[in-house]
Structure 1
Amino acid sequence: MQKLIKFSGLLLGMLCLLSLFSCRTLSHSKTGYFTGEVDKYFNEKEGVNVWLYRAFQPREDGKTGLRKENYYPLDERMMELVGIKKNANQVLFSVVPEYPPFYNMVAVKHLKNNVNLKGYNIREYKGANYYEKKVISEGMDIRHVYIPKGKKEGLSLLYYALEVENAGNPLAKFDYLAGINALEIKEKERYYPSWQIYDCEEPDRRDWILKPDIEKLKNHEVVYLKLYDVYGANKTISFFKLMKKDDRGPISLKLCPNEYILEYYSEKDLLIGQEKFRVN
Structure 2
Amino acid sequence: MIKISKIFICLFFLSFIGCSRYTFAPNGFIVNGDTNYYNDSLKLAVGLYGDYVNYIPKKNLGFRVNKLYKTDNKLLKNAKIDPSETLVLFSGIPEFDPFYNLIAFVTKKGQDIDISRGFRKKYDKDTLSYYYKTSLIGKSRIYHTVIPSEKGQLNFLYYQDRTDSCAYCDIEQLSMSNAQRIRQNEPYKLIGADCNCESEKAQQKIVTITIPKDSLIKQQSLIKFYDVNTTQLKCFKLLSGNDRPANINICQGRYIMIYSDLTNKVKWKKEIVIE
Instruction: Name the TM-score, length of structure 1 as normaliser.
Output: 0.72
Letter in 2 for 1:74: T
Contact in 1 for aligned 2:139/2:161 (Cα 8 Å): yes
SS at match of 1:144: strand
Contact in 2 for aligned 1:44/1:193 (Cα 8 Å): no
Q: 1:95: Cα distance to partner? A: 0.4
Q: Cα distance 1:177–1:212, how it changes in 2: closer, same or farther (>3 A)? A: farther
Correspondent of 1:73 among 70, 73, 82: 70
Q: 1:234: Cα distance to partner? A: 3.0
Letter in 1 for 2:272: E
Contact in 2 for aligned 1:24/1:86 (Cα 8 Å): yes
Cα distance in 1 between the residues matched to 2:195 and 2:134: 34
Correspondent of 1:25 among 21, 24, 42: 21
Instruction: Name the TM-score, length of structure 2 as normaliser.
Output: 0.73
5+ residue gaps, structure 1: 4-20
Aligned to 1:244: 240
Aligned to 1:130: 130
Cα distance in 2 between the residues matched to 1:205 and 1:45: 37
Aligned Cα RMSD in Å?
A: 3.5
More helix per residue: 1
Cα distance in 2 between the residues matched to 1:185 and 1:51: 11
Q: Cα distance 1:219–1:71, how it changes in 2: closer, same or farther (>3 A)? A: closer
Q: 1:189: Cα distance to partner? A: 4.7
Query: Is 2:218 aligned against 1:224?
Result: no
Aligned to 1:148: 148
Cα distance in 1 between the residues matched to 2:20 and 2:231: 46
Instruction: Tell me which structure has the larger Cα radius of gyration.
Output: 1
Q: Cα distance 1:235–1:102, how it changes in 2: closer, same or farther (>3 A)? A: closer
Once the two structures are superposed, what CA deviation does each residue of 1:79-105 show, in whole Å capped at 9, x if it has no partner?
Answer: 233332222321112101233222111
Aligned to 1:184: 181
Query: Is 2:250 aligned against 1:259?
Result: no
Aligned to 2:12: none
Q: 1:159: Cα distance to partner? A: 0.3
Aligned to 2:97: 100
Cα distance in 2 between the residues matched to 1:67 and 1:229: 24
Cα distance in 1 between the residues matched to 2:233 and 2:64: 23
5+ residue gaps, structure 2: 1-5, 8-17
The alignment covers a number of residue pairs equal to 249
Aligned to 2:37: 41
Contact in 1 for aligned 2:87/2:105 (Cα 8 Å): yes
Q: 1:191: Cα distance to partner? A: 3.1
Cα distance in 1 between the residues matched to 2:148 and 2:139: 29
Contact in 1 for aligned 2:224/2:257 (Cα 8 Å): yes
Q: 1:45: Cα distance to partner? A: 1.1
Aligned to 1:116: 114
Cα distance in 2 between the residues matched to 1:182 and 1:197: 27
SS at match of 2:172: helix
Once the two structures are superposed, what CA deviation does each residue of 1:14-41 show, in whole Å capped at 9, x if it has no partner?
Answer: xxxxxxx9x9322222422223333222
SS at match of 2:163: helix
Q: Cα distance 1:259–1:187, how it changes in 2: closer, same or farther (>3 A)? A: farther
Q: Cα distance 1:112–1:271, how it changes in 2: closer, same or farther (>3 A)? A: same
Q: Percent identity?
A: 22
SS at match of 2:73: helix
Cα distance in 2 between the residues matched to 1:176 and 1:155: 15
